[in-house]
Structure 1
Amino acid sequence: MNTSEPAERENDYRVPALQRGLCILQMFGASQRTLAMAEIAERLGLSVSAIYRIVHTLIEMGYLRNVAKNTYELGPQVVSDGFSYLASRDLVDIALPHLNGLRDRTSLSCHLTIREHTDSLYIYRAFAAQRLSVNIPIGTRIPCHCSAMGRVLLTALPEEALENLYRHARLDDYPPPAPKTLPELQQLIHEGRERGWVRHRSDYSTAIACGIRNHLGEVVAAINLSGPEAVMDDPQAKNAFASRCDSAPT
């Protein structure tokens, strides 16, 4: 009697639909630019009806593009995701020693984020090992309008682009001090752009954030200093922290 098979089944955490979707993307390459639905199904050993919803989902998400009837090629989202990842890793490598140094000089936690649609995505943290330190894990997403770094990232957008981004977004589902309307958000973004830095208070902590600019002077990422209210809300400390954050290399 084979007792290993039930154990293998119990430990099989694979998601078949996800596995098939990734296998479909891996079928494309330099020598295979396009594939028909029937070819995809044949390679997977499945019927066309079994993979129809998977292919349709990949099209909706931009990972596949329809080039003819029931014929597909890789979509722009594949390239976009790849370059975004590579760019964020380069950014982390460059910013890492500066953020670590900023943390050491201030004894405050520092974070690095980039914007993905309306979210601020945390891609690095320099954690200050103190009892009341702010520690937000890498990979966390926070709505841009709800954080100092997020609003810094939004300062990179022209007014029309900002309005288009939030045209159908709900802002009133978030607690104060997050803005509740688009005009409120636009005013905060304008003030942050003029000042050069953004301050935001949340539960028991305060953050001061500034932008990281590329060679064209465009804001491509944001960094912050964050700590307990008692430390961050002191007027002299606030100005000093804002100055140190703003002087970080770009």
Structure 2
Amino acid sequence: MTTGEQLERDTDYRVPALQRGLSILQMFGAAQRTLSMNDIAENLGVSVSAVYRIVHTLCEMDYLRKLGKNSYELGPQVVSDGFSYLTSRDLVDVSLPYLNALRDRTSLSCHLSIREQTDSLYLYRAFAAQRLSVNIPIGTRIPCHCTAMGRMLLTGLDDSELNNLYQHARLDDYPPPAPKTLPELRQLVEGDRERGWVLHRSDYSTAIACAVYNHLGAVVAAINLSGPEAVMDNDNALQSYLEALQQCAREISRELGASARRGVASNYR
């Protein structure tokens, strides 16, 4: 078969109306939010009558929305379909390559967790192969108020939601630096939310955590960098780790559809 014959055959399989419909949707963007019927026809190089039924169908299916007498914008179905795809992507699958790259860059262990009631549930770990690595198994549950990731997960709740979640929970059974009372926890979470990250030191290790956001701007997960105190007890190193972690959290959030967020302070001191 010649090249010309192949091109002709490929053309035979096209559906012109579908092609035009998709082309119409692609005309809209940040710089072009509305178009008239004449604009659409002109961009396609056809008459208004040739696109009228296509535009009408797109409106009926909510892919376009009519504004006034002769102006159109993208409809809610475009947004719904796009975000349905983003939210259906498995959180671990999205986060895995970024966390692995962060581990390789820092030589520290990285973890991913979500909140289930008052617990932080560990979904993934990128384990750093060194003698003193922090290694928390997948499936581990730790009370949110006791860990850096857990506290970042709680920043997604307002005061009312936090009160409802912890109204029957005991907080005084855990060793410092975990808060002992609900008012103390609220104060901690408020500071964590404003700062945008949490540094948590335990007996022999240090963890830094940031939140991961979805397309609605809601906290859906948290990630951390954790390592032995001997490795992380250095101001310059800790600052570098924090900046790398924040960049990783932004990249994962972007993959989940989050828009650019205001920068947060990167100085841990």
TM norm structure 2: 0.59
Larger deviation, residues 236-245 vs 131-140: 236-245
Larger deviation, residues 209-218 vs 110-119: 209-218
Alpha-carbon offset, residue 88 of structure 1: 9.5
Matched, 1:245 2:245: yes
Q: Which residue of the partner structure matches residue 135 of structure 2?
A: 135
> What do the CA deviations read for 1:18-38 (whole angstroms, capped 9, x no partner)?
xxxxxxxxxxxxxxxxxxxxx
Secondary structure of the residue aligned to 2:136 is coil
User: Contact (CA 8 Å) 1:100, 1:126: kept in 2 or not?
Assistant: yes
User: Contact (CA 8 Å) 1:113, 1:120: kept in 2 or not?
Assistant: yes
- In 2, Cα distance between equivalents of 1:227 and 1:169: 30
Q: Which residue of the partner structure matches residue 100 of structure 2?
A: 100
Q: Which residue of the partner structure matches residue 170 of structure 1?
A: 170
Unaligned runs of 5+ in 1: 1-86
Q: Which residue of the partner structure matches residue 150 of structure 2?
A: 150
Alpha-carbon offset, residue 205 of structure 1: 0.4
TM norm structure 1: 0.64
Larger deviation, residues 113-122 vs 223-232: 223-232
Q: Which residue of the partner structure matches residue 203 of structure 1?
A: 203
- In 2, Cα distance between equivalents of 1:126 and 1:154: 23
User: Contact (CA 8 Å) 1:88, 1:123: kept in 2 or not?
Assistant: no
- In 2, Cα distance between equivalents of 1:189 and 1:208: 15
Alpha-carbon offset, residue 117 of structure 1: 0.1
The one-letter amino acid of 1:196's match is G
Note the aligned Cα RMSD (angstroms).
Answer: 1.3
Q: Which residue of the partner structure matches residue 182 of structure 2?
A: 182
Secondary structure of the residue aligned to 2:113 is strand
Q: Which residue of the partner structure matches residue 125 of structure 2?
A: 125
The one-letter amino acid of 2:140's match is T
Larger deviation, residues 100-109 vs 224-233: 224-233
Matched, 1:236 2:241: no
Secondary structure of the residue aligned to 2:90 is helix
User: Contact (CA 8 Å) 1:211, 1:219: kept in 2 or not?
Assistant: yes
The one-letter amino acid of 2:204's match is Y
The one-letter amino acid of 1:122's match is Y
Pick closer, same or farther for the CA change 1:88–1:151 going to 2, 3 Å. farther
Secondary structure of the residue aligned to 1:247 is helix
Pick closer, same or farther for the CA change 1:88–1:178 going to 2, 3 Å. farther
Alpha-carbon offset, residue 232 of structure 1: 2.0
Looking at CA atoms only, which structure, 1 or 2, has the larger radius of gyration? Answer: 2
- In 2, Cα distance between equivalents of 1:126 and 1:160: 35
- In 2, Cα distance between equivalents of 1:238 and 1:187: 24
Secondary structure of the residue aligned to 1:172 is coil
User: Contact (CA 8 Å) 1:198, 1:208: kept in 2 or not?
Assistant: yes
% same residue: 74
Moved over 6 A (4+): none
Alpha-carbon offset, residue 185 of structure 1: 0.9
Q: Which residue of the partner structure matches residue 111 of structure 1?
A: 111
